Amino acid sequence: MLSFQPPAIGDEEIDAVVETLRSGWLTTGPRAVELERRMADYLEVEHVLALASGTAALHLALAALGVGPGDEVITSPITWPATANVIVHTGAAPVFVDVRDADLNIDPELVPAAVTERTKAILPVHLAGQPCDLDPIHALGIPVVEDAAHAAESRYRDRKIGSLSDATCFSLYATKNIAAGEGGLVATNRSDVADAVRDLRLMRRGDGSLYDIPVAGYKANLSDILGAIALAQLDKVERHRERRARQFALYDEAVAELDGIEPLARDPRDTHALHLYVVRIDADEAGASRDDYQRALADENIATSIHFLPVHTLTYYRERFPGISLPVAERAGREVLSLPVSPAHSDDDIRDAVTALRRVHAHFTA
């Protein structure tokens, strides 16, 4: 079985972990601090705070902006449920806005109609590594927290994702372009947001008999072990990007010849992070449904994934917020399929996936 998105771990990551264990630092220490400094340079932003997960980053960023009970946060339905879950965790309500058909990012033309007097923030998602259209969202004058879990390397109109909004949140999860296993980052140019996240991520400030708690914080700090892995991954980010770019090119060439299979749009004005290669499968033209293709590819020993089922159709959200109709997202949820991409894969691995996809397509369209 060709794994979907295995992490590319080498001797550098292993040596970094061993060195950290020998240093005596298991929890937050110098490596987590170094990661914050280096990521701030990489993201071209004033402040980066390292946290236990991308979910924690989103949660604390919203809390730092004062989002709470009675508020609303506008977001996309095509995302991992954590994006909506953190809104619920603050006590606020998610307001889902439909997505654009081309790239499945939130449709900025629909956002103004969703704004009410209770709107406290907008939480857009950069799906698969394609930046969403931020300028019209920023023009509304409402605080913006970007879900950039897929977008560590992205630029929007030549401006680095991470430096543009009130807060931008990244993930260091095992499948991400900078993979530590777990972990997250909040990037911001606002000192007040950075200070608030700093207080919220730990249970206390200070040491000994002088410690204090300025807020009821969370245990959401990043360990030095994970920080060390992330630093080793950051050293390889350009090398890994080159491998993924070759993999995207191989897929682009293949799917251009397959009726009914189309990749998500990539805007040439932006820098795509090349995190996920997502195609949409039109059952009428491709001869079978997305689920049929996923099962057939598994029979060919090719692992795939789905990014994503619309959040508002999942049980918790369907029951708590009934009656939502988002037709573009709902159709996409039936069509999207993500193909294997990872710097751990060789070009020949991707050629194997392409060969299997061609064979499955030929079978279904015969």
Q: Which domains does the chain have, with CATH numbers?
A: 11-235 (3.40.640.10), 237-365 (3.90.1150.10)
Tell me the C-alpha distance between 120 and 91, whole Å. Answer: 12
Q: What burial class does residue 270 get, using C-beta atoms within 10 Å of its C-beta: 0-12 exposed, 13-18 middle, 19+ buried?
A: buried
DSSP state string for 115-140: --TTEEEEE-B-GGGPPP-HHHHHTT
pLDDT of residue 213: 85
Model confidence at 277: pLDDT above 80: yes
Asked if the model's pLDDT at residue 211 lies above 90, the reply is no
- Pairing relation of β-strands 336-339 and 277-281? antiparallel
Largest CA distance in the chain: 76
Residue 152 near residue 128 (C-beta atoms within 8 A): no
Residue 315 backbone dihedrals phi, psi, to 5 degrees? -50, -50
pLDDT tens, residue by residue, 26-64? 999 999 999 999 999 999 999 999 999 999 999 999 999
Task: Enter the DSSP assignment of 276.
Answer: -
Which pLDDT score is estimated for 212?
86
Q: Tens digit of pLDDT for each residue in 98-142? A: 999 999 999 999 999 999 999 999 999 999 999 999 999 999 999
Whole-number percent of the chain with pLDDT over 70: 99
Whole-model pTM: value is 0.97
Rounded to an integer, the average pLDDT of 261-274 is 98
Which residues are within 8 A (CB) of 256 and not within 5 positions of it... i.e. 6 or more apart?
none
Mean pLDDT of the 220-236 span: 98
What is the model's pLDDT at position 209?
Answer: 77
pLDDT tens for 328-342 read: 999 999 999 999 999
pLDDT band at 158 (very low <50, low <70, confident <90, very high): very high
Q: What pLDDT sits at residue 3?
A: 98
Question: Nearest CA to 263 among 173, 130, 99?
Answer: 130
Q: What is the pLDDT of residues 172-203, one digit of tens each?
A: 999 999 999 999 999 999 999 999 999 999 86
249 alpha carbon, distance to own chain's centre = 22
Which of 120, 176, 219, 236 is the catalytic position? 176
Predicted confidence band of residue 95 (pLDDT cuts 50, 70, 90): very high
Instruction: Indicate the average pLDDT of the chain.
Output: 97
Report pLDDT for 208: 74
219 catalytic? Reply is no
As a whole number of Å, the end-to-end CA separation of the chain is: 26
